[in-house]
Structure 1
C-alpha cells in the first residue's frame, strides 16, 4: 500500500499499480451502482450523493478480489462489452476491452487485453501458480521475485488459503494485430471453438512480468466436518478433488476432519510415469496395501472399509484404489491411510490426457470397480463430474446454478448430504425392496390362482370366470388390502 502513495516512478510502484488494476479489470464481475439513501437525514439536497456499488459475478473469489482492489482505491465503476471504467482514488480511468479469455480447466487462468488512453495495449493475466510460473519471462530479477513469491504461496497454502498469481505485459502492434485476427476467427468458429480460443490465448499469455499473488480464505460451511465423519463411519469412501495447491488441499482436509493426525499420508508427486509407478509401489509395500480391482477384493474391501480411508485432492487424484492387507507385516498397518496425489502426476498415472480430470476419476472408479459413485459439487467445473457419477448432487451456492441444473438431487448446503444418504437413502432402499417383493408375491398369487383353476374347471367355462371376477370386479379391494398384509407378514 505504501508503494501506491510514493511520489516515485520506479518499477515497484508501477508493478503495484498494475497489480491492483489487474484485480479490478481481469474478471467478469458486473458492478451495480445504487444510491445510498442512508446518508441523507432530513436534507433532500444530499440525497443520492453517496453511491454504493454491489458486485455481481459468477465466482465469489472474483467478487472478493474486486472488493479488495476497491478497498485499496481501485474501484470498478462500470463494465460493458467494449470498455470498463475504474475509479482510481477519485480519478476515472476508461479502458477499452479488446478481448477476454475466460478461465477454463485446461489453462487454469484468465486474461484480458485492454487499451489504455495513451494507446498502449497490455494483457492482464491471473491464474493458478502451476500454470502461471511456466509462462513468465526468464530474467535474473524475475527469478528472484519468483522464488520469493513461491515461498509466500507455500505459506498461504499451508494456512488453507486459495492462491492466485497475477502477471501482465505490453503488446506490440504486430502481436496485437496477429492476436486480433486469430481471436476474431476463433470467436466465430463453429467447430472446436474452445480449443481455438486456447491457442489464441497462448499467443499473448507468454513472457509475462510477475506482479504479485493473492490469497483468499474459503470458509467451510456449517456442519461439514460432522457430515464427513458420519459418512466415513457409515463405510462410505470420501474422495476430494480440488484444483487448489496441495498444501491448501491438505490444510482443508484437516479442517474438515477428512484427514486426521493419526493418518499415514501417502503423497505422490512424480514427474514421469516411471517415477509415479515407483512411488505408488513403494507406498503399497511400505504400508501393506494391495490393489483392489477384482470382485472378491471389492467385497473384502467393503468389509474393511471402516479401517481404511482414501483422500484425493486434485491437484490430488488417483488411478489406483488401495486396499489394506489383513496381515500385520508392518507396524503401521493399523493406522488409517490418506492417499494424496498431485495433479501433475495424474496424467502419468492415468496414461492419458484428460480434458476433465474430475470426470476422469469418476469414470475410472466406475470402470475398474463395482462400487456406486456419488459426486457432489457447486461450481461449473463440477458439471462433468456430476454427470459422470451414478448419482449427482448439486449445491446451490454463490457460484451459480450450473451444478444444480446438471444434478439428480439439489441441496442448499453440504451438511444435508448426511440426511440424504443415511436417512432418505436408507428409507428409499427399504421401500424399493418392499415394492419388489410385493410385486413378486402379488404376481405369483395371481398366476397360481389361474394355474390351479384351469385343470379343475376347464370343462365348465362359466365357473372359470371366478378368477377373472376376482381380478377385475373385486380386484381393487383385494390388491388394496394385500400391501398391508404383506407389511405385517414381513
Structure 2
C-alpha cells in the first residue's frame, strides 16, 4: 500500500508491504550504495529475528518524485481511471500503480505482536476431535506463520512439517509419509507459488493433504485465499467453512459453503459478508458443534415430519378416490372460517 505526500515543492511516495514485495522494488543505486546495502542487511537480520519470535513484520520504503514526473503519471492514471468502458481497465490501473511504485529506498522494518485470543488452541483441538481438518491461510512469511501455527496448537510439537513448493517436494512428502509409522502425524505447508499444483489436481498432493493433520498456507493474498477455498471444494470434495476477521478474508468467506465473520479491531467487512457473526474465535466451538448439530437434527426431523404428513394426506385421498363424500369438513380446512369462528367464540366468552 502506498501514499503520495506533497510538502511544499517536494513530493514523496511512501510504501509499506511484505518484505518480499518491498525488496523487489528497491532501486539498484540504493542497493549498491554503502548506506543502502547496510540498511538492507540489517533489515533482513531483523526480519528473521522478528519472524522467529512470531511477530508480524512489514517493510517501509520511500521515493522522492519530481513535479514533472508526478504530473505525467497522474495525468495518465486519471485517464485510465475515467475510461470506465475499457475492458482492460483493471489491468491498466495495476500497471499504472506499478509504474510509480518502483525505485524505492528502504527505510526500515516494523514488527507487532498479534496476540492469540483466549481459547484458540482448545477450539482447534475440539474441531480436530470432531473429524474436521483445519487450514490456516495467512499473508505472513513462512517463519512467522509456522511460529503462529505452533503457538495456537495447529502444529503439535511432535508433528513433522513438510514444506511443499515444487513437484519434487510433493513426491518427497508422499514417499516419507507412506514410509512413516501409522501413528506418526505430519502437517503440510504450502506457499502461494505452489497453488498451481493444487489447481492441477495433483494426485500425490491430494493424497498427502487428505492424510495430514493440518495445512498452513503462507504469503496468501485475498484472491489466493478464495482460490484455495474453490480448489479444496473441487479437488478434496468436502464442505468448507471459512472464518475471518478482516477485509482480506471477505472473498474467502463468500466462496465457502459457510462463512463466519469475527467482529473486532479489523473492522466489520468480514461480518457483513458472512452467514454468521461471532465476537471471539472460541465461540466457533459451540456454534459449530452444538448449535450446528441441533440445526442438523431439527432439519432432519422437520423433513421426516413433512414427508409423513404429506404421505398421510395423500393416502386419505387415494382411499376415498371413488367417493364423493368430503374427507374433511370445509370449516376445518378453510383458514378464513376458522379465524371467524375463533373470533366469535372469543367475543361471546368475553361477554
For the aligned pair, the TM-score class normalised by the smaller chain equals: 0.7 to 0.9
- 1:472 equivalent in alignment to 2:339: no
Query: Structure 2 CA distance, aligned partners of 1:470 and 1:367?
Result: 53
Q: For 1:150 and 1:420, locate their aligned partners in 2 and report how far apart those are by CA, in whole Å.
A: 42
Residue 78 of structure 2 is matched in structure 1 by 184
CA separation in 2, counterparts of 1:338 and 1:316? 19
1:322 counterpart = 2:207: yes
Aligned length: 321
Structure 2 counterpart of 1:435: 302
Q: Secondary structure at the match of 1:398?
A: coil
Residues 138, 217 of structure 2: 8 Å contact kept? no
1:384 equivalenced with 2:251 (yes/no): yes
Equivalent residues in 2 for 1:8-407, closer than 5 Å: 110-117=1-8, 119-138=9-28, 139-140=31-32, 141=34, 142-190=36-84, 191=86, 194-268=90-164, 270=165, 276-288=166-178, 319=198, 320-323=205-208, 337-340=213-216, 342-343=218-219, 356-407=223-274
Which residue in the other structure is 1:60 paired with?
none
- Conserved in 2, the CA contact under 8 Å of 1:238 and 1:311? no
Provide closer, same or farther for how the CA distance between residues 237 and 390 of structure 1 changes in structure 2, counting only shifts above 3 A.
same
Change (3 A) 1:342 1:379: closer
Instruction: Give me the TM-score of the superposition, normalised by structure 2.
Output: 0.82
Tell me the SS of whatever aligns to 2:138: coil
1:437, distance to aligned residue in structure 2 (A): 0.9
Query: Which is richer in helix?
Result: 2
SS at match of 2:40: helix
Contact 1:258/1:311, CA 8 A, preserved across alignment:
no
Shift of the 358–324 alpha-carbon distance from structure 1 to 2, 3 Å rule, reads closer
- Tell me how far apart the structure 1 counterparts of residues 244 and 209 of structure 2 sit (CA, whole Å): 29
- Name the stretch that deviates more: 415-424 or 140-149: 140-149
Asked whether the 8 Å contact 1:386–1:407 carries over to 2, the reply is: yes
Question: Could you say if the C-alpha distance between residues 421 and 313 of structure 1 is closer, same or farther in structure 2, counting changes exceeding 3 Å?
Answer: farther
CA contact (8 A) 2:191 2:218 kept: yes
Question: Aligned to 1:444, which of 308, 311, 314?
Answer: 311
Q: CA deviation at 1:147?
A: 2.7
CA distance in 2, matches of 1:258, 1:281: 24
Matched residues in 2 for 1:314 and 1:163: separation?
A: 17
In 1, Cα distance between equivalents of 2:124 and 2:47: 28
Secondary structure of residue in 2 paired with 1:436 = helix
* Aligned-CA RMSD value: 3.0
Structure 2: gaps (5+ residues): 199-204, 339-351
2: CA distance, partners of 1:265 / 1:313:
11
TM-superposed deviation, 1:177: 2.4
Q: Show CA shifts across 1:247-302 (max 9, x none).
A: 1111111111111111110112x4xxxxx11111111111129xxxxxxxxxxxxx
Q: CA deviation at 1:176?
A: 1.6
